[in-house]
A = this chain, B = another copy of it.
Amino acid sequence: MADSPFLLACRGLPAPRPPVWFMRQAGRSLPEYRATKGTANILAAVARPDLAAELTLQPVRRYGVDAAILYSDIVVPVHAAGFGVEIVAGVGPVVERPFRTAADLDRLPPFDADAQAPYVAETVRLLVKELGPVPLIGLAGGPFTVASYLVEGGPSRSYEHMRRLMWAEPELFAALLDRLADYGLASLRAQVSAGAAAVQVFDSWAGALATEDYEAHVLPSLRRMLAGLADLGIPRIVSGVGTAELLGLFVDAGADVVSVDATITLTEARRRTGGRVALQGNLDPWVVALAPWPVVDQRARAVLASNGGHPAHVFNLGHGVRPETDPDVLARIVDLVHDGR
């Protein structure tokens, strides 16, 4: 498996073909996903290893992508720990009693992944048997993004409570993020122990903050989380939306691979990261979902051209596959990346 194109590219080593996978490749854009999952709640589906494994495998079978990503959710650890987080269909994660004061830290005792969410490692074990040479990527939420649900009480566009807490009580904010970094770390270590070959930290909403706030208030917890994985020797990918200004900080925090959104070219991303890490990305998911094929083709080739044949590149979208995406378009992109046709 160390010879897999994905793992080679993550390490900046030449691979027999350029690797490609898609964030949210397992999900609503696939008819087989909709048929298999039905109306099951996401957290209920995650807790069923047979079902979660099947949903993980579907896009690997269909597309022949170079990596699988565990079917899971970033709120799984806090849900499993009993913080009172549910995922409401059409809304997202919703928290019964939001985190607002220091007393709420007591509601986040140390997380024991194997005892509190054993189904995650079980799914990973099922998958590594099935996947053979295809690496499985484990996942966790970034501390800022998980905290945003806990503090806001649900999805937010403004992150108003988060900002107030961050500026008015920076020590409590830091304590919360450190606690959540430990949750993510415990979950990721369990996933790697069970056989995950790489991990991705989704700090999806990190781009909502000014760079100096991210650096001062969030980066220490991300660094803590990534440092806690260092001894495992697996590639640590960090991703987010609107994070083009944060790429250098992700590298400083210990990322081995940074996911690049569609706002900048890979050339520029390589400049911002000082060429110190591998890049993942960065085809615009809106192009894939909405544009005619000739535009998709031209833009996919532009991503490859911007990379300029650099080995440290994993082809992907700038962020997740849109639900309205035609799977046949993704299949054509895989062929284009693999065969240059």
Contact = CB atoms under 8 A, between A and B. Distances in A.
Contacts of A262: 210
A261 to B, nearest CB: 9
Contacts of A287: 167, 210
Given A242-B242, A244-B245, A245-B244, A210 B292 contact: no
Contacts of A299: 212
A182 interface: no
B263 A168 contact: no
A230 interface: no
A30 to B, nearest CB: 20
A51 B333 CA distance: 56
Contact of A263 (B158, B210, B284): B210
Interface string A9-34: 00000000000000000000000000
A295 interface: yes
Interface string A282-293: 001011001110
A341 B156 CA distance: 36
A263 B163 CA distance: 15
Nearest to A208: B286
Given A160-B290, A210-B284, A244-B245, A295 B167 contact: yes
Contact of A290 (B164, B263, B290, B318): B164
A211 interface: yes
Nearest to A211: B263
A212 B302 contact: yes
Contacts of A168: 291-292
Contacts of A1: none
A264 interface: yes
A314 to B, nearest CB: 19
A255 B210 CA distance: 24
Given A163-B286, A286-B163, A302-B212, A264 B245 contact: yes
Given A210-B284, A284-B210, A263 B292 contact: no
Contacts of A245: 244, 263-264
Contacts of A210: 262-263, 284, 286-287, 318
B291 A163 contact: yes
A242 to B, nearest CB: 7
Nearest to A268: B245
Interface in A156-170: 158, 160, 163-164, 167-168
A244 B210 CA distance: 12
A274 to B, nearest CB: 15
Given A245-B244, A263-B245, A264-B245, A290 B211 contact: no
Interface string A137-171: 00000000000000000000010100110011000
Given A164-B290, A167-B287, A211-B263, 6 more contacts: A158-B286, A168-B292, A210-B286, A212-B299, A244-B244, A245-B263
Interface of A: 158, 160, 163-164, 167-168, 207, 210-213, 242, 244-245, 262-265, 284, 286-287, 290-292, 295, 299, 302, 318
* Closest 6 A/B residue pairs (Cβ): A167-B291, A210-B262, A167-B295, A210-B284, A163-B290, A245-B263
